[in-house]
Structure 1
Amino acid sequence: MDILLEFWESTGFAAMTLGEFVMIGIALTFLYLAIKKGYEPYLLIPIAFGMLLVNMPLAGLMDKGGLLYYIYQGTELGIYPPLIFLCVGAGTDFGPLIANPKSLLLGAAAQFGIFFTFLGALFLNKFVDLVSFSGPEAASVAIIGGADGPTALFLTSKLAPDLLGPIAIAAYSYMALVPIIQPPIMKALTTKEQRQVKMEQLRPVSKTEKVLFPIVVSLFTILLLPSAAALIGMLMLGNLIRESGVVPKLTETTQNSLMYIVTILLGITVGAKAKAELFLTAETLSIIALGLVAFSVGTATGVLFGRVMYKLSGGKINPIIGAAGVSAVPMAARVAQKVGQKENPSNFLLMHAMGPNVAGVIGSAVAAGLLLMFFG
């Protein structure tokens, strides 16, 4: 009996706390949403399993010398997010943005949620005793509004690494819930007539324009805002690899193999930061709530600016494409397409929505660069 008792006390079952039990339940819920419901499975499966592993008592995977501790260094040092941007750039067609440069304004408008939430976090810090966010922490929470997981991770790893777990979970969760969160906001802020607007076909974009675009954007943006160099530089390098047309093997590798490898490493280490003692706090609940506010405000300001452009264009621009200005590529553009087609079955807004969608990727990286410049 002494041997059996000693064995029992050495197991994780005996050492498990209530918090760890709750976190394992949350991890299993995320796995259900990813596998059964199909919510961003490439992201949620590794994140959820990392969360599951780190909350197993006595495993020590995130302790110094543990497997996940070493893998996590790529996240902590800010290596994985720029690599993800490299892969995103290689898989992104900036043609719709080049064909309709005005859509850049919609992508910029959707970043308002970041700065609104930054002020909201500072407000909580001043008037609510339960939470306390410093300037860098408020900036890290606010970047969730960009709906760009790698950008959120990159900025948080630089400014508030202790908040990486809850911020990552919030950012990727809201990215996965784009089809649920955005449509009610679109419908509340537009009329049926506006949602039915059919937009004209975009002009063809030449190869020369597509090749010059990443070079020009890199030069202008990085010279203007050097702190955005890592994200913008990798995004545009990936796109130049794609559009050059002379390195098909590199294009194929960055779009597929490298993207999936880095996604696994990034996802599992992000989940591994969601330990019970760090995650189940008033601060974490505030981050999740503020993240929802950031994402919702970003969607709303994108749609509202879309209405302004609808008026200025004489009714030629469908305002719901403004919701795609948050940089959840390409899901936000697909949601705009789905909502528009539901109102008008002959409507095809996907390529028009891709303009503000890819502009949002650039916009969130620039916003991160600004916050990093102020607080880094």
Structure 2
Amino acid sequence: MGDIIGKFITESGFFMMTYKEISMIVIACIFLYIAIKKEYEPYLLIPISIGMLLANMPGTGLMNAPSDSSTGGLLYYLYQGVKLGIFPPLIFLCIGASTDFGPLIANPKTMLLGAAAQFGIFFAFLGAIFLGFNGLEAASIGIIGGADGPTAIQLTSILAPHLLGPIALAAYSYMALVPVIQPPIIKLLTTKEERNIKMEQLRGVSKKEKILFPIVVMILVIGILPTSAPLIGMLMFGNLLKESNIVPKLVETAQNSLMYIVTIILGLTVGATANAETFLNPKTLGITLMGLIAFSVGTASGVLFGKIMCKLSKGKINPIIGAAGVSAVPMAARVVQKVGQEDNPSNFLLMHAMGPNVAGVIGSAVVAGILLKFFG
């Protein structure tokens, strides 16, 4: 009886646990607190935290690969959807089905603001190279600046899968912190007079334009950059379903059931890659730092280009909408609306900010395609 009890104790997870696993479990609990108590990106941060917690519990084998003597762990098999590049494009399909490209079509000049905000990606790429990361790792770190979690996961799973956990956590953490990070940058780079600029009401966009837009974008972008096909193709496919107005059940499924199912599995498996060996090292600190710099520079470059457009338009464009060029939809556009109304409660910039915001989604996918072309 004593041997049985002794074996039970020595084979328990608590007996095998090291300080590294304890540290990761504590980090997972902190993320859970942030997600639940502070409500920062809870739909994804909760699954990521649980995946991290489960993967760092000794003896579970949830991320073990199959062998001749045993099958693989549950999370290992679910993770294949990330590894094989299935889940992020599905998320993009769902985003497309939930996105209105009308503001971008009505004011196509805002596409330039979405493009300008991607500068942070290249800035962070060079910074990561300077810190000693190789090209594949630097490309994966830089994409955090696009504030687009699925794109970061897609690119990293191909170029630097060993960094998937830290990069995914950094990307979604900064997406959740958009309301904290962006306002100080916007106010630092603009004057009160610029923030008070009221923009003209957008023109109406016809159904024909909304249907043609995803088709034309697919043909042009994928024709020029075939490596962007998984993300751009699914994004525009989802949007075409929405704008066709003839398949409401498919749109409803993409906007709700499919989105939540893929989000749960994606979060769990991404969190499960954040084990102690890959997470508790100096590289993680470098990733976190460069991710913050990438996001901040992306916001700043969007605002600065907005100031240029403001001058060229003789004051008709409010430069703060450039901050929405990062692809955190629709959070970045809401931040612009809030900052604009702090100085002028009658200023309504939300729809104008949605133009560069959705352009940023396209832009981050295009940049990911460019990085894949050169490093994939």
Q: Distance in 2 between matches of 1:31 and 1:339?
A: 29
Q: Distance in 1 between matches of 2:11 and 2:334?
A: 50
Per-residue deviation, residues 33-52 of structure 1 (Å, max 9, x unmatched): 11111111111111111111
Residue 216 of structure 2 corresponds to 216
| Segment drifting more, 49-58 vs 89-98 | 49-58
The 5-angstrom pairing of residues 126-145 of structure 1 reads 133-145=133-145
1:3 CA drift (Å) = 4.0
Residue 49 of structure 2 corresponds to 48
Residue 129 of structure 1 corresponds to none
Q: Percent of pairs identical after alignment? A: 74
Residue 261 of structure 1 corresponds to 261
Residue 68 of structure 2 corresponds to none
Q: Distance in 1 between matches of 2:31 and 2:348?
A: 32
Residue 36 of structure 1 corresponds to 37
Residue 9 of structure 1 corresponds to 10
The 5-angstrom pairing of residues 1-376 of structure 1 reads 1-64=2-65, 65-125=72-132, 133-376=133-376
Q: Distance in 1 between matches of 2:270 and 2:339?
A: 32
Q: Distance in 2 between matches of 1:226 and 1:71?
A: 27
Q: Distance in 2 between matches of 1:86 and 1:235?
A: 5
Q: Distance in 2 between matches of 1:83 and 1:350?
A: 27
1:11 CA drift (Å) = 1.3
Q: Distance in 2 between matches of 1:277 and 1:162?
A: 10
Per-residue deviation, residues 182-203 of structure 1 (Å, max 9, x unmatched): 1111111111111111111111
Q: Distance in 2 between matches of 1:356 and 1:20?
A: 42
Per-residue deviation, residues 207-245 of structure 1 (Å, max 9, x unmatched): 000000000000000001011011100000000000001
1:29 CA drift (Å) = 1.1
Per-residue deviation, residues 152-204 of structure 1 (Å, max 9, x unmatched): 11111111111111111111111111111111111111111111111111110
Instruction: Give RMSD over aligned pairs.
Output: 0.9
Residue 128 of structure 1 corresponds to none
Aligned residues: 369
Structure 1: which amino acid aligns with 2:242? R
SS in 2 for 1:156: helix
1:13 CA drift (Å) = 1.2
Q: Distance in 2 between matches of 1:90 and 1:231?
A: 13
Q: Distance in 2 between matches of 1:102 and 1:268?
A: 39
Residue 130 of structure 1 corresponds to none
Normalization by structure 2: what TM-score?
0.97
Q: Distance in 1 between matches of 2:249 and 2:335?
A: 32
Structure 1: which amino acid aligns with 2:162? D
1:2 CA drift (Å) = 4.6
Q: Distance in 2 between matches of 1:304 and 1:163?
A: 32
Q: Which runs of 5+ in 2 are unaligned?
A: 66-71
1:5 CA drift (Å) = 3.3
1:7 CA drift (Å) = 2.2
Q: Distance in 1 between matches of 2:24 and 2:354?
A: 36
Per-residue deviation, residues 104-139 of structure 1 (Å, max 9, x unmatched): 0000000000011111111122xxxxxxx2211111
Q: Distance in 2 between matches of 1:370 and 1:98?
A: 24
Q: Distance in 2 between matches of 1:333 and 1:28?
A: 30
Q: Distance in 2 between matches of 1:123 and 1:134?
A: 9
